[in-house]
């Protein structure tokens, strides 16, 4: 059985914000869509991501105005994955970079977003015995 691929678990309706918009615009968009991050686009190219954590740490905690440009507070450079990569490669990338959300980019185009929740959801599919086997395999791979 072939390992699952990123495009099989990613969300395809990705919300993006133009780099010229403000932190307040980003916060409103996240609230309206009930999401925790938005990809930042500049000239049609995904250049960064702004998360709830970015808003708290780089705006609120620093006392910056909500009119601050998202480009000033986004996380960059953007870490991306190809939608044809395996979910195992995605998990390794998330672990190594200590990130929870990864935009999927194909041929320079933003095509999806995958989160740790998507990976966990994949692991929970199937019978309890299958889930136990998968969990054991993950734990074995994590041992030094």
Render each residue's pLDDT in the chain as its tens digit; 144 residues. 577 899 999 999 999 999 999 999 999 999 999 999 999 999 888 999 999 999 999 999 999 999 999 999 999 999 999 999 999 899 999 999 999 999 999 987 899 999 988 888 887 666 555 666 767 777 777 666
CATH 1.20.200.10 fits 79-144, yes or no: no
Residue 105 and residue 80 in contact, taking contact as beta carbons nearer than 8 Å: yes
- What ranges in the chain are assigned the alpha helix state H? 6-9, 23-33, 52-55, 70-73, 87-97, 116-123, 128-142
The model's pTM? 0.80
**Which CATH number does 13-78 carry?**
3.10.580.10
- Per-domain residue ranges for the chain? 13-78, 79-144
């Amino acid at each position: 059985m072939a390992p699952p691929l990123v495009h099989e678990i990613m969300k395809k309706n990705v919300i993006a914000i133009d780099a010229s918009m403000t932190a307040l615009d980003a916060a409103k968009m996240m609230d309206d869509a009930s999401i925790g991050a938005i990809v930042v686009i500049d000239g049609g190219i995904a250049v960064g991501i702004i998360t709830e954590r970015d808003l708290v740490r780089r705006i609120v905690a620093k006392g910056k105005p909500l009119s601050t440009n998202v480009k000033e507070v986004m996380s960059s450079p953007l870490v991306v994955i190809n939608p044809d990569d395996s979910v195992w490669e995605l998990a390794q990338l998330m672990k190594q970079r200590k990130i929870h959300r990864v935009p999927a980019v194909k041929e320079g185009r933003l095509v999806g977003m995958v989160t740790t929740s998507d990976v966990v959801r994949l692991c929970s599919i199937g019978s309890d015995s299958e889930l136990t086997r998968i969990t054991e395999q993950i734990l074995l791979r994590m041992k030094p």
